[in-house]
Structure 1
Amino acid sequence: MRTTVVLVLLICGCGARAEGRVLDDVTRNGTSPDISAEVEALKLMVEQLNLQLESMEVQVNEGEQKVEELKAELTLAKTNVEELQKENEAHGTALASVQTRVTETETITKDLEQQIAGQTITLTSVQTRVTETESKTKHLEEKSAAHATALASLQTRVTETESKTTNLEEQNAAMEARLSSSEREILQSKSRIDQLEKINAERPKVAFYAALTNAGSIGPFNMDTILKFSKLFTNLGNGYSSETGFFTAPVNGVYSFQFTACGYFPGSVNINMYMNKELMVNNGEWKRDTGLEYFTNSVVLKLSAGDVIHLRLPARSAVFDDRYSQTTFSGSLLYDL
């Protein structure tokens, strides 16, 4: 309907414009117009109008579509407005709650500001104390560094000492082991010594030492003569008799005997040793000049208890002795059997 109305209005407008142009031409030129030309012109105009009308219909359709879209958007906007109103009411309630909380927060903030003011004063005091503490800490750190250096040196010395101590302990352990071994050996030796002392204490003790005489020269005689050593200095076990000149073995054993003969005058100096009636040793020399000369001999004999040892001066021999005990006879038991 809108399109038809618009079309009629356009045709009327065009016809009026065409009629006006014809009248203008008659008036200006004083001639009658060319109707055919005018009709053609009108047709052409009508076609143009039709084209414009189609374009306008398209625009009108697009406009109607946009109107529908706007209506839909308007409806949606109304819905949004209602929702926003509801949200606004909820926000109002929440705002009131927030305002209450803000008031409480301001009160708390004021209290906190007062506390902070007090804490600021305290903080200043604490900062002062911290500064002092930092100074003391720095001083202590310097002392600690010095102590650490000294401690490191001491630790090195301690390590060296521990190493030396370990070596000494090992040496001491070895020494103690050796000492224990030595102590055991000493104890064993002592035990053996005790045994030997006990054995020795139980063993018969036999020893004698005697000199011949103070009379000077003895001999020479025409026969063998038993020498009686009258100056008896030692006679353990009473084995030697100065009256008979015999040594009698008190126990079975091994005995050692020694004699020394001194000669003064020229001639034979000779001594024989007998065991019982058996000659065991003959020892002598021929002396050419006057003066003291000596010879000594010793023997070791196995004797049975009761065996007799004595010295004889052979015939035509002489010995010399005086207060200096220059001719002597001695013997001892080495060990019993």
Structure 2
Amino acid sequence: LGLNCLFLEILQITQVIMFRDTFICRVRKANKYTNVTHLSALLTLRKPKVAFYTALTNAGHLGPYNTDITLKYSKVFTNIGNAYNPSTDFFTAPVKGVYYLQFTVFGHHADRLAVHVYKNNQKIMANGDYNHNMVDKYFTKSLVLELTAGDEIHLVLPSDHSVYDDIYNFSTFSGSLLFTL
């Protein structure tokens, strides 16, 4: 996995350098800009754009199950940069940078409500609530993570817990690239 990430990062850096060199050559040939500062400012305008917003399902209750399951956010409303893959249910960082991720989970009369966040198949956050009053309950969590190109984030419903979603999109997962590194 480490070599694949390194290869992707090298490939992306090579593409950026090739784009920059081609752009500078074209501009110099056209004799429109000779100021290096101005050229640099123009190049920074071409930054990667990454943003997604998804909701779980229209099915209602999910769980409880006797094993952990990856949550499938099948309703994709925004996917700029195509970093969220609804087939795998993973968000994959396309570039090295700092990302803002947020999820909201709803429990409709659920006794045990929980979601775990995984980065590259390693649990990095566990969230849960025991709803002994059996009332509707929400929780929202946010993360700011430094990710390298190829890092994967997904959400897991732990065994013996449940969540709820329907046409009103109570349970959501979203994220965006704050800046590249």
Bin of the TM-score, shorter chain as denominator length: 0.7 to 0.9
The equivalent residue for 1:261 is 105
Of 139, 146, 155, 1:302 maps to 146
| Residue in structure 1 matched with residue 58 of structure 2 by the alignment | 214
2:95 alignment partner in structure 1: 251
The whole-number CA distance in structure 2 between the counterparts of 1:266 and 1:238 is 33
State which of 270, 274, 292 in structure 1 corresponds to 2:114.
270
Amino acid at match of 1:214: N
TM-score by length of 1: 0.41
Please state how far the C-alpha of 1:245 moved relative to its aligned partner: 0.8
1:169-208 maps to which residues of 2 (within 5 A)? Answer: 195=41, 198-199=43-44, 201-208=45-52
Instruction: Indicate the SS of the match to 1:214.
Output: coil
Q: Partners of 1:262 and 1:298 in 2: how far apart?
A: 15
Q: Any conservation in 1 of the 2:104–2:173 contact (CA below 8 Å)?
A: yes
In structure 1, C-alpha distance between the alignment counterparts of 2:122 and 2:112, rounded to whole Å: 22
Q: Residue 124 of structure 2 corresponds to which residue in structure 1?
A: 280
**Corresponding residue to 1:326 among 149, 166, 170:** 170
Within 5 Å, give how 1:127-206 maps onto structure 2: 195=41, 198-199=43-44, 201-206=45-50
Task: Pick one of 159, 162, 181 that aligns with 1:315.
Answer: 159
The structure whose residues are more often strand, as a share, is 2
TM-aligned CA deviation for residue 221 of structure 1: 0.6
Aligned partner of 1:60 in structure 2 is: none
Matched with 1:94 is none
Report if the CA contact (8 A) 2:111-2:134 is conserved: no
- Residue 162 of structure 2 aligns with an amino acid whose one-letter code is A
Cα distance in 2, alignment partners of residues 332 and 248 from structure 1: 11
Matched length: 144
The alpha carbon displacement at 1:312 in A equals 0.1
Q: Distance in 2 between the 1:317 and 1:198 partners? A: 48
Q: State the shift of 1:198 in Å.
A: 5.0
Q: Give the match's secondary structure for 2:85.
A: coil
Q: CA deviation at 1:265?
A: 2.3
Percent identity among equivalent residues? Answer: 49
SS at 1:300 equivalent = strand
Verify the 8 A CA contact 2:110 2:162 in the aligned structure 1.
no
8 Å CA contact 1:214–1:322 kept in 2: the answer is: yes
Q: Is the 8 A contact 2:110 2:163 kept in 1?
A: no
Amino acid in structure 2 at the alignment position of 1:242: P
The aligned counterpart of 1:33 is none
Q: Which protein has the larger Cα radius of gyration, Structure 1 or Structure 2?
A: 1
Alignment partner of 2:102: what SS?
Answer: strand
**Residue pair 1:266, 1:289 contacting (<8 A) in 2 also:** no
CA apart distance, 1:278 = 1.3
Letter in 1 for 2:149: A
After TM superposition, what 4+ stretches of structure 1 lie above 6 angstroms from structure 2? none
Q: 1:90 matched to which residue of 2?
A: none
Q: In 1, are the aligned partners of 2:108 and 2:163 still within 8 Å (CA)?
A: yes
Deviation at 1:229, TM superposition (A): 0.3
Instruction: Look up the SS of the partner of 1:202 in the other structure.
Output: coil
CA RMSD of aligned residues (A): 1.7
Which structure shows the bigger proportion of residues in helix conformation? 1
